[in-house]
Structures are given as structure tokens and as C-alpha cells.
Amino acid sequence: MDPLSSGLFPAKTFMSLFPSELEHLIRFDEPLAPYTWLGIGGPARYFAEPTSQVELSGLVRWAHEHQVPIRILGDGSNVLVRETGFDGLVVRTSAAPFSSLQVQGNRLLCGSGAKLLHAISRAIGCGLGGLERLAGIPGTVGGAVIGNASAGGTEIGPLVANVHCVRDDGSLENRDRSQIEFAHRKSDLTGLIVLEVQFELEPADIGELTKRMQKTWIVRRASRPVEHHRVVLPFVDPDGDDAANLIEQVGLKGMRRGNVSLDQNHPAYLIAHNGATSSDCLALIESVRQQVSRQLAIDLQLNLVIW
């Protein structure tokens, strides 16, 4: 049995088991709540913020060799962490090398940790169109591509030219568009760690692109409860339908469980009030799914990732 996964030794004795070049990155029992939009959850057993691709690959390889579960944390906009925390390694891709944005011709090269909004703004500023209708979607480029983010009839998947990934053993893999399967709000990249994404975009007038982005932003902002800060979209919109409409149809606007609720005016959003717990969130989510399934025969899929 591996001592790391067995819990036989106190946490700090594990430091010597990390490669010397990675020891300085490791933090023990790091609270995860401050890194998520919901502000809920316990600590990560191990936590690291690598500053290079080499360090990231080394962390992934170490976790694989010692059978330690690993999770990648980006913007935290769709993550719900239980109060027990995560008994493994959480890697946060917040360092500058993972947020880089470069333009080469009609291609935009994005680090996986770059915010999607920043990537859209960079593309527009360089007169490259395609991403602007995704303005207002929270999160990072890596998360958006893995989940095939979509809005207003635009999916991010068809804009992807190439993805640079890390496999679970720390080795690197390149996939071009023909090697990636995108479907409604998902892809076959799940389970891989995305390092960089190349988008192939179309030259367009900067003024027109800016107008499109602003219009999209205004519409999306109007559909969000701006008076609350700890909010998430717990459900994926079904293909050809809208989660908010379904929730309204079954009469669940404003529904509350413990210290979480669905917004009264924008029922697709879950709001975490003071004292909210992961159990409150899960109870509300399950109630909504049951009611929608019972009354409308539709299985709402989760947008939230539960740790």
C-alpha cells in the first residue's frame, strides 16, 4: 500500500516523498472555499500552483506514480467542494505562463488558465472573429473547451484548431481538431489536463466585433442576478431548451434549501447565502432534478463539478 494514499504518516512527513524540484510548490490542507465562486468547501490535502509546464507535468507524474487523485482548478466558477475537502492534489493554473495569449496570423494561442473573457477581448482587438458571441461565459479557456461552452447558437468546439494536453502519467499530447470529439456541452478531452488551446478564427472588422460582444454581454448580464456574488449555474441547458424555462415551468423559481436558493428572477442561477453548505447545494439540485424529471420527463445534467 502506498503511504501517501493510506494516510499512515502525518502530512508534513510526505514532503520528503515529493521530488526536490517540486517540494517548494506543495501546501498542505489548503482551504479551497476562497478559490471557488460559491465560497464553499473544505481543504485540499495537497495544493500546488506550478509556474511552468515542466512543474505541472512533474506534479501530474508524481500523483500518477503514487496513486494520488488530482484535480485541476481554474477560475472555480463551476466547482462545488464538499466540507470534507478533497483528499488528493489540487493544482491551480493561476501562474502567468498558463494565462498567456498570443496571436499568430488568424490563430489565437491561449494558455488553459486564461480567462475566456480575456481571450475574447484579445481576439477582437486583433480583428479576429468567432469567439465574441461567447462573451459573458465565466471560467477559463481550458474549462470552456473541455465543456464545449456554448451560447446563442455558437459553440467553442468548432473554433478549436489544436489542443496541447498532459496525460495522467505526465506525458504530453497534441490533438488537432480532427482528433477531438465535441458534443453538446461536452468533449472527449475530459480526463486530460489542457495546457494550451489554438483557435482558428476569421478576420473581421474590429468595430463590428466589438458591437457584437457588447450586445452579447448586455444580454447575458441582464439574465444574471447581479446583486449576489456567490452564484453559479448548476445545470446545463438541454439541447434546444433552456434550464431556466424548465425550472419556471415546474414552479421552482426562488426555491430554497437551507442557505441556498434559486434566484427568483433568474432561476437558472443558484445563490449561496451566508452559512451555505455543500449539503444545502446538493439537496436543492437533487430536488430540482427530481421535479423536472417527474413533471417534464427531462433529465437535467449538471454544470457543476462536485469534489
pLDDT tens digits, one per residue of 210-265: 999 999 888 887 778 877 789 999 999 988 788 999 999 999 999 999 999 999 99
CA 263-267-271 angle, 5° bins: 40
SS3 of 46, please? strand
pLDDT on residue 15: 53
Fold assignment, 97-211: 3.30.465
Q: Answer yes or no: are the C-beta atoms of 117 and 73 closer than 8 Å.
A: no
CA 190 to chain centre: 11
pLDDT on residue 14: 52
Question: Which member of 107, 177, 185, 230 is catalytic?
Answer: 185
SS3 of 68, please? coil
Q: Would you state the cell numbers that stand for residue 282, as one nine-digit string?
A: 446538493
CATH class for the region spanning 3-94: alpha beta
pLDDT at 64 over 50: yes
Element at 280 (helix H, strand E) = helix 278-296
CA 169-170-174 angle, 5° bins: 105
| 194 burial type by CB count under 10 A (0-12 exposed, 13-18 middle, 19+ buried) | buried
Question: What is the DSSP annotation of 218-268?
Answer: HHHHHTS-TT-SSEE--BPPPTTS-HHHHHHHTT-TT-EETTEEE-SS-TT
pLDDT on residue 307: 95
Q: Would you state the cell numbers that stand for residue 13, as one nine-digit string?
A: 512527513
Of 21 and 13, the one with more pLDDT: 21
Provide the greatest CA pair distance for the chain. Answer: 61
Confidence (pTM): 0.86
pLDDT on residue 289: 97
pLDDT 10s digits, 82-127? 999 999 999 999 999 999 999 999 999 999 999 999 999 999 999 9
pLDDT at 205 over 80: yes
Tell me the C-alpha distance between 112 and 119, whole Å.
10
Task: Please give the backbone phi and psi of residue 151, each rounded to the nearest 5 degrees, phi first.
Answer: -165, 140
Q: Answer yes or no: are the C-beta atoms of 260 and 287 closer than 8 Å.
A: no
- Active site annotation includes 185: yes
pLDDT 10s digits, 4-14? 444 444 454 45
Q: Where are the beta strands (DSSP E) in 15-127?
A: 27-31, 43-48, 70-73, 79-80, 86-92, 101-104, 107-111
Domains 97-211 and 227-306 share a fold: no
CATH number of 227-306: 3.90.78.10
The proportion of the chain whose per-residue pLDDT surpasses 70, expressed as a percent, equals 95
The domain segmentation of the chain, as residue ranges, is 3-94, 97-211, 227-306
